[in-house]
Amino acid sequence: MNTKKIITGGIVGAGVSFLLGNLLYLFVFKTYFDENSFPVDTSSINWLYSILSNLCWGFMFVYILDKLKVSTLSNAALTGLVIGLLLQGGVDLNFYSMGMLYKNLTVVIADVLLIGIIDAAICSVIFYVGSFGKNNS
Length of the chain measured in residues:
137
Neighbours of 49 (CB within 10 A): 9
User: Looking at the domain assignment, is residue 90 inside a domain?
Assistant: yes
Give the CA distances from residue 106 to residues 111, 120, 125, in Å, rounded to whole numbers and listed in that order.
9, 21, 29
What does the chain look like in DSSP terms, one character per residue?
A: --HHHHHHHHHHHHHHHHHHHHHIIIIISHHHHHHHB----GGG--HHHHHHHHHHHHHHHHHHHHHTT--SHHHHHHHHHHHHHHHHHHHHHHHHHTTSSBSSHHHHHHHHHHHHHHHHHHHHHHHHHHTTTSS--
Average pLDDT over residues 87-103: 92
Residue 21 falls inside a structural domain: yes
Domain that holds residue 20: 3-130
Position 99 in a domain:
yes
Query: Is 108 among the domain residues?
Result: yes
Mean pLDDT, residues 89-99: 93
- Tell whether 26 is covered by a domain: yes
Q: Is the pLDDT of residue 132 over 70?
A: no
Q: What is the pLDDT of residues 102-129, one digit of tens each?
A: 999 999 999 999 999 999 999 999 999 9
pTM of the model: 0.90
Please report which confidence band the pLDDT of residue 137 belongs to, taking 50, 70 and 90 as the band edges. Answer: very low
Answer whether residue 100 shows pLDDT above 90. no
Has residue 136 been placed in a domain? Answer: no
Tell me: the pLDDT tens digits for 42-86?
A: 788 899 999 999 999 999 999 999 999 999 999 999 999 999 999
Q: How many domains does the chain have?
A: 1
